[in-house]
């Protein structure tokens, strides 16, 4: 049962005294928020804790306390290893990326996640697929353990909820999500400031990138699929960084009649990173899984290798097929 999972997770945190907290590569708001909340919890239990991510913390998320302590593995692989690991917001082991290089031989892992595609890769697993965000599960855990959170932890929980629900708008915005968010506001979380900072404000390169992306916006014959392509040159010439891709794919999905929006992003090593968003008609996580990726019904991703033009058309064909079913 879920309560048994929460008990086991709490026992996992109480045992041992040195922990590593990890999340997925190219972390989003929920990944970073969950990382700092677990760190907060472990410190609350009097534990020693380090946080490492393969990628840097997106600049927009650095307003949260403790994000500066999340070590960027790619910048400098740490030499120490850890034998108690907590992975948050990771659907499978591969999402941890290079940070698994910091796991000691025989390390034990606690996996806390909300992705329906989660394969239960931990020794202990807390998986609730109807949670809007991993931070919602962490809130369950704190509520269950009777832990009173402070404004800092509340800010992270609020941020994870806000970002994974697209500003409390996606279908995962349940009454429970609003209740949890409300209790966070009671703690003094500046909800309006966070929403403006994360959802409204854009960097100039971000807007220039949007301009280029829209220039190349393409529709399928029936207008049910729309896609954007961003090249390495687009990034360089606008001065954009990875963070500036945030939200771009929604412009493709948000067109009236479109059921699946896709962003193809050329990577430095000649691959293409695919971001898919669905209105709900097609399960994009199932499509992503065909190409070695995963995610949720309405938001999923994968990477394409080989002859890129061919892989792109076979992915679009897979989307067409999914929409015909």
**Binding-site ranges for Mn ion (CB under 5 A):** 28, 30-31, 89, 133-134, 164
Binding-site partner at residue 293 among ligand 5GP, Mn ion, none, CB < 5 to 8 Å by type: ligand 5GP
CA distance 156 to 171: 21
Binding-site partner at residue 31 among Mn ion, ligand 5GP, none, CB < 5 to 8 Å by type: Mn ion
CA distance 296 to 316: 18
- From first CA to last CA, the distance across the chain in angstroms is 34
In angstroms and rounded to an integer, the radius of gyration of the C-alpha atoms of the chain is: 20
Q: Is 294 in the site for ligand 5GP (CB under 6 A)?
A: yes
- Site track 111-150 with ligand 5GP (rule: CB under 6 A), x = hit: ----x-----------------------------------
Binding-site partner at residue 198 among ligand 5GP, Mn ion, none, CB < 5 to 8 Å by type: none
CB of 115 to Mn ion, least distance (A): 7
| Closer Cβ to ligand 5GP, 10 or 22, answer by number | 22
Residue nearest to ligand 5GP (CB): 301
Q: Is 275 in the site for ligand 5GP (CB under 6 A)?
A: yes
Task: Pick one of 27, 58, 261, 295: the residue that binds ligand 5GP (CB under 6 A).
Answer: 295
**The token pair that represents 37 in the structure block:** 């909340």
Q: Is 302 in the site for ligand 5GP (CB under 6 A)?
A: yes
Strands (E), 89-222: 103-113, 124-127, 218-219
Binding-site partner at residue 282 among ligand 5GP, Mn ion, none, CB < 5 to 8 Å by type: none
Q: Residue 266: name the closest of 229, 225, 216, 223 by CA.
A: 229
**Which parts of 75-94 interact with ligand 5GP (CB under 6 A)?**
91-92
Task: Pick one of 58, 97, 213, 293: the residue that binds ligand 5GP (CB under 6 A).
Answer: 293
CB of 106 to ligand 5GP, least distance (A): 25
Give residue 306's region: left, alpha or beta (phi > 0; psi -120 to 50).
Answer: left
Beta strands at 299-304 and 272-278: parallel, antiparallel or unpaired: antiparallel
The string of DSSP codes covering 3-31 is HHHHHHHHHHHHS-SEEEEE--SS--HHH
CA distance 271 to 68: 30
Check if the beta carbon of residue 121 is closer than 8 Å to that of residue 92: yes
Number of residues that bind ligand 5GP (CB under 6 A): 14
């Amino acid at each position: 049962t879920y309560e048994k999972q929460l008990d086991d997770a709490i026992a996992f945190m109480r045992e041992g005294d040195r922990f590593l907290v990890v999340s997925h590569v190219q972390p989003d708001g929920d990944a970073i928020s969950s990382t700092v909340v677990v760190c907060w919890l472990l410190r609350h239990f009097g534990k020693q804790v380090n946080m490492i991510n393969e990628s840097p913390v997106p600049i927009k998320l650095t307003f949260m306390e403790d994000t500066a302590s999340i070590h960027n593995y790619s910048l400098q692989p740490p030499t120490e290893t850890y034998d108690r690991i907590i992975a948050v917001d990771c659907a499978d082991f591969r999402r941890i990326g290079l940070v698994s290089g910091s796991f000691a031989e025989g390390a034990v892992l606690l996996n806390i996640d909300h992705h329906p595609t989660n394969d239960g890769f931990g020794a202990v697993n807390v998986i609730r697929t109807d949670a809007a965000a991993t931070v919602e599960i962490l809130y369950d855990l704190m509520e269950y353990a009777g832990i009173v959170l402070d404004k800092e932890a509340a800010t992270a929980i609020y941020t994870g909820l806000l970002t994974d629900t697209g500003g409390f708008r996606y279908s995962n915005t349940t009454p429970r999500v609003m209740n949890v968010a409300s209790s966070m506001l009671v703690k003094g979380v500046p909800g309006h400031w966070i929403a403006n900072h994360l959802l409204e404000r854009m960097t100039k390169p971000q807007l220039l990138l949007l301009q280029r992306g829209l220039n190349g916006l393409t529709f399928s014959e029936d207008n049910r699929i729309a896609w954007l392509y961003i090249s390495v040159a687009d990034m360089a010439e606008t001065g954009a960084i990875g963070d500036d891709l945030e939200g771009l794919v929604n412009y493709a999905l948000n067109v009236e009649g479109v059921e699946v929006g896709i962003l193809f992003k050329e990577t430095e090593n000649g691959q293409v990173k695919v971001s898919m968003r669905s209105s709900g008609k097609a399960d994009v996580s199932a499509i992503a899984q065909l190409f070695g990726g995963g995610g949720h019904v309405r938001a999923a991703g994968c990477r394409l290798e080989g002859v890129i033009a061919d892989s792109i058309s076979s992915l679009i064909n897979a989307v067409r097929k999914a929409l015909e079913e």
